[in-house]
Amino acid sequence: MNIAVIDVETNYNDEVMSIGIVIANAATYQKIDSKYYILAPEYQVGGMYSLMMKLPSQKPVITQRNKAINEIKTLLRTYSVTNLFAYNAKFDYHRLYELSDFVWHDIIGVAAYKQYNHKIPSDTPCCATGKMKRGYSVENMMKILSDDDCYVEKHNALCDALDELKIMRLLGVSINMYEVAVINR
């Protein structure tokens, strides 16, 4: 079984300007394939993280949104993916409404809870549910899980999707632990 981890970056108009997607094995959380799209004309508006869109090591596809979405759907079908994962999934889900036929899961639903994430320090303030009260951003979670206090989130959709997959791998819990984040039916 395969899954996909997806991340978006938005422009100053809160429109998606880039999409990163990683296909991974659901049992090992190892990357199988990835794609990176920069959306035109949305990226031309600019955004808080525009400078991070075109990293030298990447070969993004610059295209219109509808073409990118169609290619993503084809990619997902090719790998028989039905489950999408994102960190703060509702944010990405509401900006990628064309992918509402897929089942969306939120990585935060495991990462930010002390009963699932045993690397959360014991003195961390948590709600009665076990969820951290604050400090569970991707950047903070990567620091906690990887013991790398120097980690800095890139705010590049593909890099962030890869990091979110790494969070899942570092958590080491079964794919079944990730509850459905968005009920769209």
Tell whether pTM > 0.75: yes
Rounded CA gap, 110 and 119, in Å? 12
Sheet arrangement for strand 16-25: 61-63, 31-39, 16-25, 2-10, 83-86, 103-106, 180-182
The tens digit of pLDDT for each residue in 88-121 reads: 999 999 999 999 999 999 999 999 999 999 999 9
pLDDT at position 58:
84
The tens digit of pLDDT for each residue in 53-63 reads: 988 788 899 99
184 — pLDDT class (breaks 50, 70, 90): low
In this predicted structure, the answer to whether residue 1 has a pLDDT above a threshold of 60 is yes
Q: How many domains does the chain have?
A: 1
| Strands of the chain, DSSP E | 2-10, 16-25, 31-39, 61-63, 83-86, 103-106, 180-182
Q: Largest Cα–Cα distance in the chain?
A: 48
pLDDT at position 183:
58
What CATH number should be reported for the domain holding residue 7? 3.30.420.10
In this predicted structure, the answer to whether residue 40 has a pLDDT above a threshold of 90 is yes
Structure tokens at 121: 């320090």
pLDDT at position 116:
95
3-class SS of residue 77: helix
Percent of the chain having pLDDT more than 70?
A: 98
Domain encompassing residue 148:
2-182
